[in-house]
Copies of this chain bind each other. A is one copy, B any other.
Amino acid sequence: MNKDKILEDRFPGRRAALKREILEHALYCFNELGVEATTIDAIKARCDTSVGAIYHHFGNKEGILSTLFFAAQDDQRQNLEHELAKTNSLREAIYSIVSSYLDWVVAQPEWARFLYQARSPVAKGPFRQELKVRNAQNYQELKEKLLSFENKDIKIVQPFEIIPSLIVGPSENYCRAWLANRVRTSPRDYREEFSESAWRSLQR
């Protein structure tokens, strides 16, 4: 299954089997019950282990949460990077960013749901610094990539800081709605619409 790949890629081997097990069930609990309502006991019960094992691997609840969060974010970023590398124009890049975002959410709905709800706690918790660094890095890489394209013909909105919001804002908003069952249609079905709209929104 695809879901497990995110964990197996990052915590490989027989030795980390329980670690992956705990993470998998913790993900389920966080999504099902919410972050605060998920107790260590509930996770323990679901994967039939001990508090000792959980605390050995993660230190505390925040540790489980952050491990999951960074694993998900990293997978999403890798996916984007991979798709973005193929592009050769700004227009292609926009399409690639939007499409890979929508595809990832649809392929990993549980991870995506978690990513949305865990951001705030992680941003406030003991790993906020790591989150900041990662965000800054991702932002820089994206900026360099996008600015590397020459644009003779087309005028793009200024300044750069609003551009990421214009590109992914609508897709993100729709994906949240989809994951919360407020809309039914899969985000993938709107790849064209969101890509083209993003592209139009950038031009001036």
8 A Cβ contacts from A38-91 to B: none
Interface of A is mostly: helix
Question: Which of the residues B34, B165, B201 comes within 8 Å of A173, measured between beta carbons?
Answer: B165
A168 and B162 in contact, given A120-B34, A197-B157 (Cβ under 8 angstroms): no
Contact B169 A36 (CB under 8 A): no
Q: Which of B35, B125, B169, B185 contacts A171 (CB 8 A)?
A: B169
Q: Report which of B34, B135, B162, B172 forms a contact with A193, defined as CB distance below 8 A.
A: B162
For the complex, is A116 an interface residue (Cβ under 8 Å from B)?
yes
The interface on chain A, measured as residues whose beta carbon lies within 8 A of the other chain's beta carbons, has a size of 44
A109 CB–B CB distance under 8 Å: no
Number of copies: 2
Q: A35-B36, A161-B183, A162-B193 are in contact. Are A201 and B124 (CB under 8 A)?
A: no
The CA of A36 and the CA of B174, in the complex, are separated in Å by: 27
B residues within 8 A CB of A190? Answer: 162
Are the CB atoms of B168 and A173 closer together than 8 Å? yes
The minimal Cβ–Cβ distance linking A198 to chain B, given in whole angstroms, is: 7
- Residues of B contacting A177 in the complex (Cβ-Cβ under 8 angstroms): 165
Per a CB cutoff under 8 Å, which of B34, B116, B123, B165 touches A125? B34
Contact A123 B197 (CB under 8 A): no
Cβ of A204: which chain B residues have Cβ within 8 Å of it? 196
